[in-house]
């Protein structure tokens, strides 16, 4: 604990030290190629309060967080370290306790020349073009237990090596990217109340069966459209639950995953942008021949088709159709074992996995809409996002946000996450975790 405090304090002091308002300006343009070291980052304090009975009004999370960023670049070389440090007054894991957490967020060394780029370190590699829901985004995890008004701050990476090659010395529209990670990043879930049968323990903190990750993507990037094909073989960043009879427990596993994906984006007319993202995902134990079939998520196909439309300089809307289809699907009621007690347990496991990974039926159609407003001077920003699915009933998340930037380096944001719908479905089950929130952020 003391060590973490020391790290957080050091990060904060480093942040304050570089925020000197009379610090000299950055190097001039002709010196763009000259080596330079810069220290930047963001610090924020935020508070999240429960809004659903019976915890309404109590704090879900109070935190002070800092992301100091140290970067260095030379002509062919570059390096960056972004760390994070949190001090929590309340957190989902430890309500009403003062705790802290610190670690690497994005840290790497890069070398590039003539269209070839090699990057090694703690990597965050988000893939996909659609808005918020990205079937091809299999390389980064998210810590959903860290509440944040900015979803991107929840991302978690891991150690890896990334190469990117653009032929013709960087001039070709083709680009080939490869990522190798020793271990896949692991998401921490905002778990709804899982109905684990009485007498069993639920272990969500142990990751096993993780294997090295290999991912590759071929992109074609033209000025008015772009497309990519991707392949991934590694471990899912989302856990699934399995019953371990010998230990009388339900265990969370990050299982092996293979996926093939594609995305596309293009301008459409004068005021629209079309984005399509699709992926076939094959969890190792998801085939219909597997002993776990019916209890875990089967092989499936995820697709997002979205259109972004700008009404004018300030108002815009993004509409997306979402489809998740499992071509071999076994309903929970058909999961059986010769032992009726085990059948009960296995069905409970199947229900939990369907709840956590959102596959209540063979096909789960859904959609998302996001309206946003930006004042012309970019001082005010307001948005409302709605995400919903329709299989086996309705479930939804409504996410309003209002941000005000009184100065270039300050931003005040308030918002809410309202989960609702059928309580046996993913977003409906999270109803009790709905929050309202406020945040003050300082960029230095």
Where along the sequence are the contacts to other proteins (CB under 8 A)?
Answer: 25-26, 28-30, 32, 38, 40-42, 71-73, 78-80, 110, 112, 115, 117, 124-126, 129, 150, 152, 164, 166, 169-171, 173, 175, 221, 223-224, 226, 265-267, 269-273, 308-310, 312-314, 316, 376-379, 405, 407-409, 411, 443-444
| Smallest distance, other proteins to C-beta of residue 154, A | 12
- The nearer residue to other proteins, 361 or 374, going by C-beta atoms, is 374
430, containing H or E segment: none
Q: Which is nearer to other proteins, 103 or 126 (CB)?
A: 126
What is the C-alpha to C-alpha distance for residues 241 and 292, in angstroms, rounded to an integer? 11
**In terms of DSSP bridges, do strands 249-253 and 201-203 run parallel, antiparallel, or are they unpaired?**
parallel
Tokens of 381: 């920003």
CB atoms inside a 10 Å sphere around CB 153: 16
The least distance separating other proteins from the CB of residue 53, rounded to whole angstroms, comes to: 35
Distance of closest approach, residue 71 Cβ to other proteins, in angstroms: 4
Residues 333-340: contacts with CB under 8 Å, at least 24 apart: 334/294, 335/294, 335/295
Distance CA 308, CA 444 (A): 32
Residue 394 CA to residue 287 CA, distance in Å, equals 27
Q: CA–CA separation, 417 vs 436, rounded Å?
A: 6
d(CA 142, CA 69): 20
Cβ of residue 202: shortest distance to other proteins, in angstroms? 34
The whole-angstrom separation of Cα 62 and Cα 76 is: 42
Residue closer to other proteins by CB (options 264, 301) is: 264
The minimum distance between CB 409 and other proteins, in angstroms, equals 5
Query: Cβ 109 to other proteins, closest distance in Å?
Result: 11
E strand or H helix at 101: strand 99-113
77 or 327: CB nearest other proteins = 77
Tokens, residue 251? 């265990």
Q: State which residue, 248 or 379, has the beta carbon closest to other proteins.
A: 379
Taking phi first (over 0 means left), then psi (-120 to 50 degrees means alpha), and beta for anything else, what does residue 284 get? alpha
> Given the complex with other proteins, which of 327 and 410 has the nearer CB atom?
410
Rounded to 5°, angle at Cα 274 from 271 and 280 = 170
Shortest separation between residue 221's beta carbon and other proteins, angstroms: 4
Nearer to other proteins (CB atom), residue 64 or residue 165 = 165
């Amino acid at each position: 604990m003391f060590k973490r405090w020391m790290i957080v304090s050091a990060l904060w002091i480093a942040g304050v030290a570089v925020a000197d308002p009379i610090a000299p300006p950055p190097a001039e343009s002709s010196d763009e190629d000259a080596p330079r070291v810069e220290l930047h980052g963001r610090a924020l304090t935020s508070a999240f309060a429960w809004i659903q009975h019976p915890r309404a009004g109590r704090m879900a999370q109070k935190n002070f967080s800092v992301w100091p960023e140290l970067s260095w670049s030379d002509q062919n070389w570059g390096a960056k370290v972004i760390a994070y440090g949190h001090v929590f007054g309340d957190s989902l894991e430890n309500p009403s306790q003062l705790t802290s957490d610190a670690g690497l967020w994005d840290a790497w060394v890069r070398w590039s020349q003539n269209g070839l780029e090699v990057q090694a370190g703690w990597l965050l590699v988000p893939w996909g073009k659609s808005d918020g829901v990205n079937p091809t985004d299999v390389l980064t995890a998210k810590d959903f237990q860290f509440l944040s008004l900015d979803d991107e701050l929840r991302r978690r990476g891991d150690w890896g090596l990334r190469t990117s090659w653009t032929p013709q010395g960087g001039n070709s529209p083709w680009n080939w990217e490869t990522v190798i990670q020793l271990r896949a990043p692991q998401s921490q879930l905002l778990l709804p109340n899982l109905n684990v049968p009485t007498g069993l323990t639920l272990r969500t903190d142990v990751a096993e069966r993780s294997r090295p990750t290999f991912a590759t993507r071929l992109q074609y990037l033209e000025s008015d459209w772009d497309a990519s094909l991707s392949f991934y073989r590694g471990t899912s960043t989302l856990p699934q639950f399995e019953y371990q009879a010998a230990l009388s427990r339900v265990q969370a596993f990050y299982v092996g995953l293979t996926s093939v994906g594609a995305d596309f984006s293009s301008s459409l007319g004068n005021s629209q942008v079309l984005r399509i993202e699709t992926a076939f995902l094959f969890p190792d134990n998801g085939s219909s021949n597997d002993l776990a079939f019916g209890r875990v998520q089967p092989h499936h196909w995820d697709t997002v088709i979205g259109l972004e439309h700008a009404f004018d300089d300030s108002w815009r809307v993004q509409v997306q159709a979402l489809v998740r289809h499992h071509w071999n699907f076994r309903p929970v009621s058909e999961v059986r074992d010769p032992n009726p007690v085990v059948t009960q347990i296995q069905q409970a496991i199947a229900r939990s996995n369907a709840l956590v990974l959102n596959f209540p039926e063979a096909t789960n159609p859904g959609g998302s809409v996001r309206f946003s407003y930006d004042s012309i001077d970019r001082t005010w920003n307001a948005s409302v996002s709605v995400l919903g699915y329709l299989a086996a009933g309705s479930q939804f998340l409504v996410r309003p946000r209002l941000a005000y930037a009184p100065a270039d380096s300050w931003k005040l944001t308030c918002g809410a996450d309202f989960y609702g719908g059928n309580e046996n479905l993913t977003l409906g089950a999270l109803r009790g975790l709905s929050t309202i929130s406020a945040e003050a952020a300082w960029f230095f």
